[in-house]
Amino acid sequence: MTDPWLRCFQRRPGALVRLVCFPHAGGNAAFYRPWVALLPPSVELVAVQYPGRLDRLDEPCIRDMPTMVQRITAALVGQWHPALALFGHSMGASVAFEVARRLEDAYGREIVRLFVSGREPPQHQRRSKVDVADDDALWMEVRRLGGTDVQAVDNAALRAAALPAVRGDYQLIDGYRTRPGRPLASPISAMVGDVDTETNATEMAGWAAHTSADFTLRAFPGDHFYLMAQRSAVVEEVRRGLLAVTAVERDLMP
């Protein structure tokens, strides 16, 4: 898999489902690397690498949702076998949702399930309160939300390298407005931390309006980055969600 947008940490030629994971604002594909060991052999994990970070550091960030979605969707169309499922956290949930819509509308391809985490649905979309032009304010927001090692957050060199991607992602999500359209044909599973300051279970329930299929909602103990402390439980929830739509329980058992 050589596409610059996609990172596969462990090839699984016999996989029945390819789980495509979308990072949060300022995040990168490596955030999902620890999931690989927790997934059964029948699920191959692929993480999206946005430009402007790590091995794509020299590439300009994408600051608008339509361009981001078009580029990622084009990369995924060539990866359709095996079946695709999408998981996105925070900003990544919005990107994954729009990618799922484009796959259906432009290519007639349905994913097996969309997992959205820690992000309010489009009808509750809010602009951030952070001044993205202010380096200090933007970095304070990174510290507030967590999800980054404390020593790394306090590293001046890391801050300088990471800020352009964080700023670009915040500009992308602040400018995002979904277009009207029919609900997804694929089911949606929503997840949230029970003390997340960015959204809550009541808001997350609104994702049900965006699918004509099954919808599930689960709250986990934790804040916006609950999925770090609750990694095993979250991956287990994903596995169960895939079981429910693939009808291959024997093959997906760990």
pLDDT digits (tens, 9 = 90+) for 158-208: 888 888 999 999 999 999 999 999 999 999 999 999 999 999 999 999 999
Q: Does residue 154 fall inside a structural domain?
A: yes
> Are the beta carbons of 50 and 26 closer than 8 angstroms?
no
Counted domains in the chain: 1
Residue 64 lies in a domain: yes
Q: Are 178 and 74 in contact (CB under 8 A)?
A: no
CATH number at residue 128: 3.40.50.1820
Q: Residue 180, preceding bond cis, omega within 30 degrees?
A: no
* Residue 109 resides in a domain: yes
The burial of 78, by beta-carbon neighbours within 10 Å (0-12 exposed, 13-18 middle, 19 or more buried), is given as: exposed
| Residues spanned by the domain of 128 | 6-252
Q: Which of 24, 89, 210, 224 is catalytic?
A: 224
Q: How confident is the model at residue 247, as a pLDDT?
A: 54
Of 80, 92, 88, the residue nearest 115 (C-alpha)? 88
Q: In what order do the strands lie in the sheet with 83-89?
A: 6-8, 43-48, 17-22, 83-89, 114-117, 188-193, 215-220
Q: Which amino acid is at 144?
A: R
* 199 assigned to some structural domain: yes
Specify whether the CB–CB gap between 166 and 92 falls below 8 A.
Answer: no
Task: Return d(Cα 145, Cα 127) in angstroms, integer.
Answer: 16
Indicate which residue of 24, 42, 89, 90 is catalytic.
90
pLDDT at 147: 64
Residue 129: pLDDT above 50? Answer: yes
In a domain, 67, yes or no: yes
224 is catalytic: yes
Residue in the structure block whose two tokens are 């969707």: 73
- Ramachandran category for residue 147: left, alpha or beta (phi over 0 → left; psi -120 to 50 → alpha): left
Residue 1 lies in a domain: no
Residue spans of alpha helices (H) in the chain: 65-77, 91-107, 135-145, 150-153, 156-174, 201-204, 226-229, 231-246, 249-252
Of the candidate ranges 84-98, 121-135, 139-153, 163-177, the one whose mean pLDDT is the lowest:
139-153
Whether the pLDDT of residue 116 is over 60: the answer is yes
